[in-house]
Amino acid sequence: MTIVVVGGTGFIGRALCRTLVQAGHRVTVLSRSPEAHRGALPPPVAFLAWDGRTRESWAQVLAGADAVVNLAGENIAKKRWTDNRKEELRNSRLLTTHLLVQAMAGLSKRPAILINASAIGYYGPRDETPVSEGTTAGTDFLAHLCVDWEQEASGAEALGLRVVRLRIGLVLGEDGGALPRIVFPFRLFLGGPISPGSQWVSWIHRQDLIGLVQWALAHSTISGAVNGVAPGAVTMREFCRTLGRVLGRPSWLPVPELALRLILGELSTLLTTGQRVEPSKALRGGFVFQYASLESALKGILRAP
């Protein structure tokens, strides 16, 4: 397959591109700064510059593609959610996706599939009731962002593409994402759950998330929303307890919710609320998770040679 990956230089994208190349696919990455990332990916990966905001000659690379994987978007958790930051988060997702779909509309030969990243934030803060792909959207900022983002991606359906909206949870890996920041205080014997501790954490090992992308590429019956989470969601308290056990460290120092609100503002809701999300469509479709339990995932990452 010839696959175009947008946002292929990030924590998920780098690993995805390596795996796709190893599987024999031809991969082109659209990146805002291709020169800075060429060394991070194997030579067969081609790079093309694109700022995610303008329509230029880059669109022609889509004409020869069988599939497009769109992972583009500013880091949700990098900065406090001011009004300006919210606009950046929206534009980096909605505008990029809109331009991709517009570019494909102008092609005589189009890719067969668009896999577009989204997030389990689509569902908004939830209690312990399990959430599946058919659950309605939430009403907070992140939920509205995901709904609008998915709507832009769904525009490709009218062009004849199969669209998969991959709602991604907390992605665990050794060289990026949230896990290294979570692990740091545990290594100093200062680890503990974020209050209230009862909020659900729906996570996935990065290798299984990449497997879901490959699975969606290979199975023509898969379309629509797909929850990119493992089947073993846990509470924040249990997440930290398991992490402490794997590291051989205590989990005893809770992080107060009020302190997070004062430091992070509205962004703190990412940590103090959650959803108990189930990968219903993946399980029904026969996808097999390599890391179905949190302990196996953490051991695979933190105890790797």
Report phi then psi at 293, rounded to 5.
-115, 150
pLDDT exceeds cutoff 70 at 36? no
pLDDT score recorded for residue 168 = 98
CA distance 79 to 210: 26
CATH 3.40.50.720 fits 2-172+205-229, yes or no: yes
pLDDT exceeds cutoff 70 at 182? yes
Q: Which pLDDT band holds residue 35 (cuts at 50, 70, 90)?
A: low
Q: Which pLDDT band holds residue 110 (cuts at 50, 70, 90)?
A: very high
Q: Helices marked H in 137-279 — which ranges? A: 141-154, 179-187, 206-218, 236-247, 257-264, 269-272
Total residue length of the chain: 305
pLDDT tens for each residue of 48-93 = 888 888 877 788 889 889 999 999 999 998 889 999 999 999 999 9
Q: Which pLDDT band holds residue 223 (cuts at 50, 70, 90)?
A: very high
Which residues face 67 on adjacent strands? 3, 113
Residues 6 or more apart in contact with residue 156 via CB below 8 angstroms = 100, 101, 104, 114, 163
CA distance 80 to 83: 9
Q: How many helices (H) and strands (E) does the chain have?
A: 12, 11
Going from N- to C-terminal start, the domains of the chain cover 2-172+205-229
For the chain, give the mean pLDDT. 92
Q: Are 59 and 111 in contact (CB under 8 A)?
A: no
pLDDT exceeds cutoff 70 at 305? no
Q: Which two tokens stand for residue 264?
A: 């992070």
pLDDT exceeds cutoff 50 at 140? yes
pLDDT exceeds cutoff 70 at 285? yes
Q: Are 209 and 12 in contact (CB under 8 A)?
A: yes
Which residues face 277 on adjacent strands? 131
The three-point CA angle 228-91-225 to 5° equals 25
Q: Which two tokens stand for residue 67?
A: 């599939």
- A 10 A CB-CB count for 303 gives 9
* Percent of all residues in the chain with a pLDDT value above 90, rounded to a whole number: 76
How much is the pTM?
0.94
Q: Which pLDDT band holds residue 304 (cuts at 50, 70, 90)?
A: low
CA distance 305 to 299: 11
Beta strands 234-235 and 170-172 are unpaired
pLDDT score recorded for residue 54 = 80
Q: Which pLDDT band holds residue 47 (cuts at 50, 70, 90)?
A: confident
Which residue in 86, 88, 223 sits closest to 153, CA to CA?
223
pLDDT exceeds cutoff 80 at 230? yes
Q: Are 85 and 79 in contact (CB under 8 A)?
A: yes
